[in-house]
Each structure stands twice: as C-alpha cells, then as structure tokens.
Amino acid sequence: MVTHLSGKVQTVLGRLSPDELGITLPHEHFLIDIRNYFEEPAVIGDLALAYQPIALENLDWVRHHPLQSKTNMVLDDEREAIEEALVFGLAGGQTIVDCSERNHKRDPRALMRISKSTGLNVVMGTGYYVWPSHGPDMDNKSEDEIYQEFVQDIVEGVDGTGIKAGIIGEIGISSPMHPNEEKTLRAGARAQKSTGAAIYIHSPRDEKDPLKVVNLLTNLGADPQHIVMCDVDRTLLTHERRLELAKTGCFLEWDHFGQLDYYFRPEIDMPNDRYRVRDIIELAQAGYLSQVLMSHDICQKVMRRKYGGHGYAHILQYIVPVMRAKGMRNEEINTILIENPKRLLTGI
C-alpha cells in the first residue's frame, strides 16, 4: 500500500526530499503551554516566586521548581522562538521537529512563520499527551474519531489552515496506561499505517512499560522502524533495559540533553550529558547506532538561552565535541544527527 507520505518528509511548508533535512533535532518545542500542570507552592515563602518573571535572582529556584513557576511553563513568544532557533541554524542545524500536540495549544501558522523567518525546516506533530492534559470530551471520543483527527492533520492540514503535520506525537503514555491513552495509542498505530508518518511516544515512567508499548504498537501493525520511544535518558537507566527495547527495532531517543537533573522526580538518577554520551556509545557498540536519536525537548523558559538555559544549539556546540573526545567518528555522529532522523521522518 502506498501511504500519504511515501518517500517524502512533510514540513509546515510542504513536502521535502529526505536529503534536504541535514542536521536535525527530532524532538523540540517552539511554542507550548503546559500551565495545566502548575502546582502552587505549599510554602508561603515561595508563593511570590511562583508568579515572578524569570530573572537572575530567582533562576536557581525556578530550575529546582519548574512546575511551580507559572511563567516558566509557557513558551508563547514567537519572536523569541525565532531568535533561539537561529542560533541552531548558525551552528549548522537545518531541521527541527516540533512535538507540541493538540492539547498544548499547537499553533501551525506560527510554526510556518518561524520556518520562513529562520530558513529552518519545521516538522509539526499531531497527537494527545498524557491523560491529565486531555480535554473533558476525551472520555466520549472513540478510537475511530481520534484516528480520523490524526489522518486529517497529516493529509488535509490542521484546523482548516492547510498546514500539515508530519509526525504522530508525541503521544503521552502513563504508568499504568490510562484507557484514554491506550485509545489514542491504538488510533496512532492505525494512522501510521494510513499515512506513513512516524509515531512518537512520551515514555511511561515505569522502566518495564516502554517495551510493552512498543510491542502493542507493532502487534497493531505499526512499523517499529518508525516508532520513537522518547525520554529514554530518564526512564531506561540501564544498558540491559535499553538493549531490550532496541531489539524491537524502534528508535531510542535521548532528548534531555542540557538538563542537569530531573527535578520532577528526585528519586531518579538521571544521567548528565557525558553519561548520556557514554550510554549512546554503549548501545552503538552493541550494534544499534542506527536507532539512536538525540535532542533537548525544550519546553520551559529556563531551557532557553535567554533565561540562562542551554538552547537548541547545545548538542552541536558542546556535545558533539564530547562525542569526538570519547572516540566517536564523524561518520557515527552524522548517523545520529542526520541519517537516523532522515530515515525516521521519511514516510513509508
């Protein structure tokens, strides 16, 4: 069966040949609103900090309380997004995948303007995040309705704009999986078969669950070589777990580069950037280099350069030299940054 995206990559400005992608960040956010997760501080001394603009004086507090700073939880400045993205372009980058989905106020027209202003290729997603972010109508939506939404976003365009999504995701999965999340996952597998688009999974937090999710998708007929398991650097913390998942044929995405800690769950020993590189090398030496992806998942203000963060060029500026210092060849680095995203994003 010839699918909608067969042999092409779909960006917000239209379809491209895969060879036009170049260095690609496969998982980022330009504009996103996650304020529905805001947690007002329980301590009176922190209450004022929760509503302050980010400044040098409160930056450390915000970094350690990312969900208690309301201003930190929204990226809504289009000009700022353009300025931040241009740094990636100047460093040699050419393509960014924006994984903001339906329930995080995705803005296709803004993504088109960002692409035109920066000269970067921008790929847009379609999907639903974890169940607490679902709308009140989600219980009543059928799997078929969700499937039709995904297909329409990819084939016809989003909300009558004619601007088309190029991936399915990121689809949020919890541990344990909520019934509405499973409904969305099943719809995503069907949409992949109809359109040829890759499907991104926001990793469930239990280390046993990513494998279950990928197995469910493949049992439903999804192509494992077009499945991305995101967040492996905060979920799959041992080589054995990563190897177990890699054997399915899916992509493993280290997408927390630049993040110093995982403040949402202090019990998790999330690796720093150098350990992330070490883990990638370990998986590559086991024969799975062609399934590795790297990105930053920038979704908060403190992750941007303007607010003292690392920004979209962090991997190119600071991590590629670490990869070389640890013995990786340019060919291997290009496999991760260019060839793997190209295969992933090319429609089947």
Residue 85 has pLDDT above 90, yes or no: yes
d(CA 197, CA 183): 18
Find which of 103-107, 109-113, 258-262 is predicted with most confidence, using mean pLDDT: 109-113
What confidence score (pLDDT) does residue 92 get?
98
- Exposed / middle / buried, residue 158 (Cβ in 10 Å: 0-12, 13-18, 19+): buried
Using pLDDT thresholds of 50, 70 and 90, give the confidence band for residue 4. confident
Using pLDDT thresholds of 50, 70 and 90, give the confidence band for residue 25. very high
Residue 56 has pLDDT above 80, yes or no: yes
Average pLDDT over every residue of 5-18: 97
Instruction: From residue 211, give the alpha-carbon distance in Å to each of 205, 238, 244, 271.
Output: 12, 14, 8, 21
Take residue 65 and report the two structure tokens written for it. 């309380």
> What phi and psi values does residue 231 have, to the nearest 5 degrees?
65, 25
Residue 263 has pLDDT above 80, yes or no: no
For 78-95, give the DSSP string: HHHHHHHHHHHHHTT--E
Residue tagged 């976003």 (tokens): 153
Q: Express as a percent the part of the chain with pLDDT over 70.
A: 99
Domains of the chain: which residue ranges? 20-345
d(CA 30, CA 121): 13
Those residues with Cβ within 8 angstroms of residue 150's Cβ, 6 or more apart along the chain or in another chain: 126, 127, 165, 168, 187, 188, 191, 195
Look at residues 255, 248, 326 and name the one whose alpha carbon lies nearest to residue 288: 248
Residue 2 has pLDDT above 70, yes or no: no
pLDDT, tens digit (0-9, with 9 covering 90-100), for 195-249: 999 999 999 999 999 999 999 999 999 999 999 999 999 999 999 999 999 999 9
Contact in structure between 209 and 17 (CB atoms under 8 Å): no
> What phi and psi values does residue 325 have, to the nearest 5 degrees?
-65, -30
- CATH topology for 20-345 is TIM Barrel (3.20.20)
Neighbours of 174 (CB within 10 A): 16
Look at residues 224, 229, 223, 227 and name the one whose alpha carbon lies nearest to residue 210: 229
- Exposed / middle / buried, residue 55 (Cβ in 10 Å: 0-12, 13-18, 19+): exposed
What confidence score (pLDDT) does residue 239 get?
98
d(CA 68, CA 38): 6
Residue 1 has pLDDT above 70, yes or no: no
Take residue 152 and report the two structure tokens written for it. 């329409």
